[in-house]
A and B are shown apart, each in its own frame.
Chain A
Amino acid sequence: MSDRSGPSLTFNSADPRASIHQATMQDRRTAAILARRRRRMQILLCQILCFVVLIGLWQWQTATGHVSAFLYGSPSGIFAALIATIRDGSVWTDLTATALETLAGFALGNIIGTTLGLSLWYSRFISQVLQPFILALGSIPIIALAPITIIWFGTGFASKVAMSTLSVVVVSIIIAYKGAMGVDPDQINLMLSLRASRQKIFRLIVIPASMTDIFAGLKLTVGFALVGAIVGEFMSSTNGLGHEIFKAGSLYAISAVFAELVVTVILALVLSSIVTRVERWLLPWRHDLS
């Protein structure tokens, strides 16, 4: 083909367009970052304001005696209870116990659930057979399983992990399966046209494509795992945040209940922020989406 003798000329025509594209993208990105930062500050300011007003109102009402501090607790009482548990060190043992149960249940539930959910992609037949069973299992309130888990796993660490795992596993299966089945069929056809084996399609397409859903599931189930652990502690336990909440509640120590709740909330926030961080690290291509 002699008429294609000037390829260098024709190629270069794409390059200036490309660099312009890059420059405008750079400008747009910095502008977007600034706007986003300003917006984030406004949101934070409003959040702090809400918190201060709420706490202030509560403190004021209980201090003046309009609202009973005995029945509803008070911010100052909660703060004192918090300091007390930190001073005697009990908060650390309870926090560690609950955190370990939660993490173990979270990990176990998601490993089992994700593996099962993704592998259901291999056989539409098996997944359709299993569907009602999975849904049935998912509809059981986990607290109803607490007595059985105590009989099977005892009153120690294992039964809390079991409760936590059960709270996670069904959701994890469903999310991973949905993720795997949500892969664009054209994408699968493309792989088939390359004569890729089913196993290669699974590894190169299905698993990575499901990662977005799987991480959404992780963010959701980290809370479920904590709930499972605390419910387990309610049933029978010698330590843990759930144990302390239950005990303080029975003694009408409302401020102590709230103090333990504050610790629980902090634990939940820390755990979910860890998941978010891991996602950013593992799925760098999603950076600008979050």
Chain B
Amino acid sequence: MTSLKRPDTPLQALDLGKAFLTDAGEELDIIRSVSFTLERGEIVSLVGPSGCGKTTLLNLLCRLIEPSQGTVLWNGRESDGVPAGVGYMLQKDLLLPWRSAIQNVMLGLQVKGGTRAAHRARAKELLDQLGLGGFADHYPSTLSGGMRQRVALARTLAPEPEVLLFDEPFSALDFQTKILIERDTLRLVREMQRSLLLITHDVEEAVSLSDRVIVLSRRPSTIVSEHRIELPGDRSNLIALRESTGFAHYVRQIWTELDVQ
């Protein structure tokens, strides 16, 4: 197990573990000795069976909860509290119903500080890029699920976080909507040269979007295997990609390792 601190690596998890104390006073192991890295500009997926503590892992990484064991390094350093430059996105869009779409996108910028006009310009730009330019002043309650999640994506990207931590952000969407938003996410993440850690239970999503896929076991979660995804052709064409032979091979391989019963 390497304990080398690498300042050029945005995110390193070293021997990370988490146990909770149950009401009965027993220690419940959720995550046991997980180590991996996320390199600059890389997209890495963590896949695992449901209930394997993926969300706990994500909260550990951004220091919303303390690990019982191991360390998390952000650019080679241990962060004191929540690290800077994290974009956090969940399955729930978490849009504020009292704010219009554009005001929701401005939320993260507002926390960081700066002028309102600059925030608005940046938010408008992102909404335009995600095909929601005409809906800037709509309240979330008037938007469809896919549109809402696009607004959430814009909100996540607006403060230009260095590392994106996504926890099943597309799993509540129908297939077509999902493919479209995945494609836009891929494009924006690559364009902005961000690093993305995607937590998902959707193997096909993981293979189609990632440079690497890490497979987690059931609870207590450990790393089962790691796959570097090398597929020929246009990686942005997610439908064509799903039909390639290499794709099916990766998916089948990961499925067998997932240990779902």
Interface set of A (CB-CB < 8 Å, partner B): 1, 3-4, 7, 10-15, 18-19, 21-22, 25, 184, 186-187, 189-196, 200, 204-205, 208-209, 211, 283, 285, 288-289
Contact = CB atoms under 8 A, between A and B. Distances in A.
A192 B82 contact: yes
Contact of B94 (A1, A19, A187, A289): A187
Contacts of A4: 187, 190-191, 236
A193 B88 contact: yes
A190 B141 contact: no
A245 B183 CA distance: 72
B243 interface: no
Nearest to A205: B96
A1 B135 contact: no
B82 A193 contact: yes
Interface stretch (B12-20, B22-30, B106-114, B205-213): B106-114
Contacts of B97: 285
Contacts of B187: 4, 7, 10
> How extensive is the interface on chain B, given as a class?
35 or more
B190 A1 contact: yes
Contact of A195 (B111, B147, B165): B111
Interface of B: 59, 62, 64, 81-82, 84, 86-88, 90, 92, 94, 96-99, 107-108, 110-112, 129-132, 134-135, 139, 141-142, 144, 147, 159, 165, 180, 183-184, 187, 190-191, 234-236
Nearest to B187: A4
Given A21-B144, A208-B96, A208-B98, A15 B111 contact: no
Contact of B98 (A12, A13, A14, A211): A211
Given A12-B131, A184-B92, A208-B96, 20 more contacts: A1-B191, A3-B234, A3-B235, A14-B131, A15-B131, A18-B131, A18-B132, A21-B144, A184-B94, A189-B88, A190-B88, A191-B111, A193-B87, A194-B111, A194-B112, A200-B111, A208-B98, A209-B96, A285-B98, A285-B139
A13 B187 CA distance: 15
A3 B236 contact: yes
Contact of B64 (A1, A12, A184, A189): A189
